[in-house]
Amino acid sequence: SCPGKIEAEGFTGESMKLLHLIFLLALTTGISAVLIYIIGVSNLYESNRLSNGDLEALQSLQSGFKKCVSANGLGLQAATGRDYCKVSINFPKDTVPKWKDPKSGELEGLSYEFDLCEAVATWEQVRNSSTILTKEYIDALPNGWEDYAWRRINKGIQLNRCQNKSLCIEKLSLVLPETAPYFPRQFERCAVIGNSGDLLKTKFGKEIDTYDAVLRENGAPIQNYKEYVGEKSTFRLLNRGSAKALDKVVELDEKKQEVLLVKTTIHDIMNKMIREVPIKNPVYLMLGASFGSAAKGTGLKALEFALSTCDSVDMYGFTVDPGYKEWTRYFSESRQGHTPLHGRAYYQMMECLGEILLAFWF
Ligand SMILES: *[C@@H]1O[C@H](CO)[C@@H](O)[C@H](O)[C@H]1NC(C)=O
Ligand SMILES: *[C@@H]1O[C@H](CO)[C@@H](O)[C@H](O)[C@H]1NC(C)=O
């Protein structure tokens, strides 16, 4: 309906069926759903515990998924992987990868393997949970303060596992609500805005401002770019570097109402700024969920928060166009970014599982 936007096929029905199947398996085999994706669903059906009907459901999930990728992926194609849960998403052969792994010095690959079963199970859990760190959460962990809380404080190791609990509470107090400030599906339609230079190719601004909540990242500016990125801003997700410049970040939203979500740890410098600048915006720490090695960046964390708080999530500015030469930002010179192709493939998987909608320029 909106120009420049690709509708994902109605796939949620299929992935819900699969989810149901995964939970059913968890029940009948007497292990928790969490264990399922550690040991892998594949092991279960290799031992013949899946009926033909179940196998058909998995097969149909996969074939629908492949169709969705080729219809919506701007040249991406999905291929069957080693088992029914696994697929690979492949870029066109003439794609020229530009991003080099700083450790190995190797260029990013053109083919990525994903586990659909694992993704469905993990993300459905995210959709039903709070992703903000709360006091309630720490208290409910077996040794929440001794084993976990200090990890969320910069140089927490020096706190001797929160031996002095009141000191730990004090350090976390400005960013630690008693209970979850947001609940699943609190907002109906949300937009997550990435920082890709592709955003300058379409004036999505007005469209973005129609969402119930808009989530931005790090130092992404609004002023001077409103016609492209809109001006509504509900949440802003911050990595370590941005969080250290909290005083600068709050300037980006003229209304000063953004909720700031910090991906890493609380820092004495941040506490001081919140108290003394003072910073009136709510500031929270994100819980850390693990998604394995795939696409670890701020974008995925933003998606995690959005899916835990919103009914539907559309993503803008996460694209790597088919003629991809270099990852650019809409507000600065070319930057290295990190793993742009891997990230793009991951978001394509998410779209074709019916979890999100990707907005593209044409
Ligand atoms: C979602 O969370 C609620 C409340 O914690 C729980 O009762 C319900 O069973 C959960 N649903 C799923 C599908 O996990
Ligand atoms: C624990 O921390 C509190 C708050 O910072 C401090 O007032 C108190 O002296 C500390 N207690 C010990 C035993 O170090």
Residue 158, ligand 2, Cβ within 6 A: no
Q: So what's the pLDDT on residue 317? A: 85
Residue 164, ligand 2, Cβ within 6 A: yes
Mean pLDDT lowest among 28-37, 225-234, 303-312: 28-37
Q: Enter the CATH code of domain 169-361.
A: 3.90.1480.20
Q: So what's the pLDDT on residue 44? A: 46
276 CA to centre of ligand 1 in angstroms: 40
Residue 157, ligand 2, Cβ within 6 A: no
Q: Percent of the chain at pLDDT above 70?
A: 77
Residue bearing the CA closest to ligand 2, atom 2? 167
Q: So what's the pLDDT on residue 17? A: 46
CA distance 82 to 85: 8
DSSP per residue, 346-358: HHHHHHHTTSEEE
120-178 residue pLDDT tens: 777 777 888 889 999 999 999 998 999 899 999 998 888 888 999 999 999 999 999 99
Element housing 312 (H / E)? strand 310-316
Three-class SS of residue 193? strand
Element housing 43 (H / E)? helix 41-46
Residue bearing the CA closest to ligand 2, atom 12? 164
Quick one: how many helices (H) and strands (E) in the chain? 14, 10
Q: Which of 74, 65, 58, 14 is nearest to 358 (CA)?
A: 74
> Which ligand places an atom closest to the C-alpha of 167?
2
Q: Which residue has better confidence, 322 or 30?
A: 322
Give residue 289's pLDDT band: very low, low, confident or very high (50, 70, 90): low
Compute the C-alpha angle 299/359/304, nearest 5°. 30
Residue 82: Cβ-neighbour burial (10 angstroms; 0-12, 13-18, 19+): exposed
> Which ligand places an atom closest to the C-alpha of 164?
2
Do the beta carbons of residue 145 and residue 165 sit within 8 Å?
Answer: yes
For 316-332, what is the mean pLDDT?
73
169 CA to centre of ligand 2 in angstroms: 11
220-277 residue pLDDT tens: 999 999 999 999 999 999 988 889 999 999 999 888 899 999 988 899 999 999 999 9
296 CA to centre of ligand 1 in angstroms: 26
Q: Which of 166, 171, 173 to mutate to test the pocket of ligand 2 (most atoms within 8 A of CB)?
A: 166
| Length of the chain (residues) | 362
pTM: 0.81
Please name the amino acid found at residue 187: F
Q: So what's the pLDDT on residue 237? A: 95
Residue 166, ligand 2, Cβ within 6 A: yes
pLDDT at 49 over 80: no
Find the radius of gyration of the CA atoms of the chain: 21
For 318-341, what is the mean pLDDT?
71
Residue ranges, comma separated, of all CATH 3.90.1480.20 domains in the chain are: 169-361
pLDDT at 23 over 80: no
Q: Which atom of ligand 2 is nearest to the CA of 164?
A: 1
Give residue 359's pLDDT band: very low, low, confident or very high (50, 70, 90): low
Q: Which residue has better confidence, 300 or 249?
A: 249
CA distance 322 to 325: 9
Q: So what's the pLDDT on residue 231? A: 95
Give residue 323's pLDDT band: very low, low, confident or very high (50, 70, 90): low
